[in-house]
Chain A
Amino acid sequence: MSTIEQIAARLDGAATSRTPTAQFSADTGLDVPTAYQVQHAVVAHRTARGERLVGLKLGLTSRAKMTQMGVDEVILGRLTDAMHIPDSGTIRLDDHIHPKVEPEVAFLVEGGAIAAVAPAMEIIDSRYVDFRFTLPEVVADNTSASGFVLGAWQPVPDGIDNLGVLLEFDGQTIQTGSTAAILGDPRRALPEVARLAGSELTDGSVLLAGAATAAVPLRAATHVRVTVDRLGTASLRVAP
């Protein structure tokens, strides 16, 4: 269907040119199932450039965000190897449109089960002007996925359903939260993803379970750190 490919090309162009695009679903009457087809086409643009799928992410995993979007359902996005930023690595604002960071928990999937957990952060960077979008539009935009940082993988400790989470900029705490904000317990991310895209949960897949706090815009020349109780830290430097 040409409309799907046209929307995908527009979103991919926005990402590669770092120029946000206007919302469009009012014109196209895009629904969520079609939006996932657009997402597939958007991701196909990335894989055509040589990027490799490495995992999945969930969005709208907090009660607050579901209420804000007026929905009762999580959304799913795809992660590629090009989105992976090494722990304590550096990114440049110029490589993005208007990136935001959110503290997360990541799982490593083996044999359809959770094999390890890591503190993580996700960089989201909506391809729409001012981060304004409808539910189908954000699904089409691969749920704003742009980058992710993983701290150290480790065995899953008992009880990760209410771990304190801090997001710091240059050592100053700017968000505090709990893993309880992620579906009540981040481990619920696995059955959610299995239901939505079970065949993609191959061995070694990374699963970003969802945000523990609201997203915060990144700013230049800043050291960004996420700390999750018992799991440790993941960090990122934003270049001057």
Chain B
Amino acid sequence: MTEVARAADVLRSAYESRVPIAPLRGDLLPVGDVDAAYAVQRAQVDDWVAAGRRRIGAKIGLTSAAVQQAFGVYQPDFGVLFADMAVPDGDEVDLGALLQPRVEAEVAFVLGADLPFERVTAADVIRATDHLLPAIEVVDSRIADWDISIVDTVADNASSGLFVLGNQPRRLSDVDLRLAGMVLEHAGEPVSVGAGAACLGNPVHAVAWLAGTLAAAGAPLSAGDVVLSGALGPMVPVTAGGGYEARICGLGSVRVRFGGKEQA
């Protein structure tokens, strides 16, 4: 068994057992080998697609300067989104289905046109965007205690978990995303605040990076895809009880609750 297959196998076991695993870096994957990490991600995605899961887009991670510094990297990363990860706005999520969830507020881009270019401009993204939705991403890590490096998170589908989309579409032409304020509240208390500029200066830049990266990898973004463009403020650990609501100025709001198993 190759190192890629072995790492994918270990991650699969974490999903199945709901018991987090030790970091992959240095053990199953070479430290800093991001290409190998994406190969692990691809191996899992291929399995998931073969098992009938519907691929609906992608998420972008590591989009804030502070997080990039903490990881010692100078580019974002991405993971693949599936239709079964979508939670209806306002629904309750069973904590038992997750390992160690955290939440962050983001702008979701829903594309109306393909983006098949390896070099993508802001204008390409703007033209291809059909509408925007406010989103809460429920990130999760299969690596114990979120002890992750770039290699660990990329291999682990960029720490994807679930996502919640708002239902009121807005046009990109009506919003200045760079200066759009964001507040994420838990039980009415602000737990994360930020603005669009926290995401690579502007979420449009993050989508341009993703489109180019995916096109170069031979799996370009296409019309209908949903892109979670990256956090607008710090991610926060989830606590059960009390709802989470994200408000993004100009995009409206989106909410989710957590129940079931108590977070350890």
Interface residues of B (CB under 8 A from A): 65, 176, 178-183, 189-191, 193-198, 201, 232-233, 247-249
Query: Which of A63, A159, A166, A173 is the one whose CB lies under 8 Å from B190?
Result: A63
Interface residues of A (CB under 8 A from B): 62-63, 159, 162-166, 173, 176-181, 184, 212, 227-230
Residues of A with C-beta under 8 A to B233: 176, 178
How long is the Cα–Cα vector from A229 to B178 in the complex, in angstroms? 9
Given contacts A162-B248, A178-B182, A179-B181, 5 further A-B contacts (CB under 8 A): A162-B181, A163-B179, A165-B181, A178-B194, A229-B181
Assess the A173–B201 pair: CB atoms within 8 A: yes
Task: Write the nearest CB–CB distance from A240 to chain B, whole angstroms.
Answer: 26
Residues of B with C-beta under 8 A to A173: 65, 197, 201
- Known contacts A63-B190, A181-B193; A162/B183 CB under 8 A: yes
Residues of A with C-beta under 8 A to B232: 176
Residues of A with C-beta under 8 A to B183: 162, 178, 180-181, 184
Task: Write the nearest CB–CB distance from A167 to chain B, whole angstroms.
Answer: 10
Residues of B with C-beta under 8 A to A178: 181-183, 193-195, 233, 249
For B64, give the chain A residue with the smallest CB separation: A176
**Most chain A beta-carbon neighbours within 10 Å: one of B180, B183, B191, B233:** B183
Assess the B190–A227 pair: CB atoms within 8 A: no
Residues of B with C-beta under 8 A to A212: 193
Assess the B190–A176 pair: CB atoms within 8 A: no
Residues of A with C-beta under 8 A to B190: 62-63, 180-181, 184
Task: Write the nearest CB–CB distance from A175 to chain B, whole angstroms.
Answer: 9
Assess the B249–A162 pair: CB atoms within 8 A: yes
Assess the A166–B176 pair: CB atoms within 8 A: no
Residues of A with C-beta under 8 A to B189: 63
How long is the Cα–Cα vector from A63 to B183 in the complex, in angstroms? 12
Task: Write the nearest CB–CB distance from A66 to chain B, whole angstroms.
Answer: 10
How long is the Cα–Cα vector from A166 to B232 in the complex, in angstroms? 12
**9 pairs, CB–CB < 8 Å, chain A vs chain B:** A159-B249, A162-B249, A163-B179, A164-B195, A173-B201, A177-B181, A178-B181, A180-B183, A181-B190
For B194, give the chain A residue with the smallest CB separation: A176
- Known contacts A162-B181, A162-B183, A179-B181; A229/B249 CB under 8 A: yes
How long is the Cα–Cα vector from A227 to B179 in the complex, in angstroms? 8
For B177, give the chain A residue with the smallest CB separation: A164
How long is the Cα–Cα vector from A7 to B105 in the complex, in angstroms? 46
Residues of A with C-beta under 8 A to B249: 159, 162-164, 178, 229
Assess the B196–A63 pair: CB atoms within 8 A: no
- Known contacts A63-B191, A177-B193, A181-B193; A166/B179 CB under 8 A: yes
Assess the B196–A164 pair: CB atoms within 8 A: yes
Residues of B with C-beta under 8 A to A184: 183, 190
How long is the Cα–Cα vector from A165 to B198 in the complex, in angstroms? 10
Residues of B with C-beta under 8 A to A162: 181-183, 247-249
Task: Pick the 6 closest A-B CB pairs, nearest first.
Answer: A164-B195, A178-B181, A180-B183, A229-B179, A164-B179, A162-B181
